[in-house]
Amino acid sequence: MIVSRIRPSSSAKRKFGGFTLIELMVVLVILGLLGGLVGPRLFGNVDTSKVKTAEAQIKMIRSALHAYRLEVGNYPSTAEGLSALNAAPQQASTLWNGPYLEDDLPLDPWQTPYRYESPAKNNQGFVLYSLGADKNVGGEGIDADIGYLPQN
């Protein structure tokens, strides 16, 4: 008995093989184009959401400052700072009925402490703001300061 081996032709091998290099390159080009078009739109919203987060946190801190003022009679001084919302300062310990924030004082979305001054200029009770993305005073767009800013 003669046993012969039959080798499959190259077209038969192709039926069971993987993708060709050209097919892989086409898929990579399509993925690159999709990433280039969709990516900026998705990541552009990150900056907007950070600004909205800072605004929400400032409103929360502002409410806590008003509650502090109602009980103690004035806003915490600049020296006492925003930490007076979570721990009683020496001068207000008998009137202080906090903590006025449920959690620890947050950093702004750019990991910088919020700026606070009291009393503020021009009979403003306090100044509370974030320096924005650039972490410097002033700026425009996402670099703009956010909050209850000093009035000149």
pLDDT digits 0-9 by tens, 52-104? 899 999 999 999 999 999 988 889 989 999 999 998 887 766 888 889 988 88
- In-domain check, residue 2: no
- In-domain check, residue 38: no
- In-domain check, residue 76: yes
Q: How many domains does the chain have?
A: 1
- In-domain check, residue 73: yes
Confidence at residue 3, expressed as pLDDT on a 0 to 100 scale: 62
Confidence at residue 141, expressed as pLDDT on a 0 to 100 scale: 78
Confidence at residue 89, expressed as pLDDT on a 0 to 100 scale: 82
Q: Per residue in 76-103, is it b (16+ CB within 10 Å) or e — as a string? A: bbeebbbebbeebbeebeeebebbbbee
Q: Is the pLDDT of residue 1 over 80?
A: no
What mean pLDDT value characterizes the chain? 82
- In-domain check, residue 106: yes
Ranges 24-28, 52-56, 147-151: which has the least confidence: 147-151
Confidence at residue 12, expressed as pLDDT on a 0 to 100 scale: 53
Q: Is the pLDDT of residue 148 over 80?
A: no
- In-domain check, residue 42: no
Q: Which helix (H) or strand (E) holds 128?
A: strand 127-130
CB 92 within 8 A of CB 81: no
- In-domain check, residue 64: yes
Query: Closest by alpha carbon to 84, among 66, 70, 96?
Result: 96
- In-domain check, residue 18: no
What value does the mean pLDDT take over residues 1-9? 61
The residue range of the domain holding 63 is: 55-152
Confidence at residue 73, expressed as pLDDT on a 0 to 100 scale: 87
Question: Residue 72's domain is classified under what CATH number?
Answer: 3.30.700.10
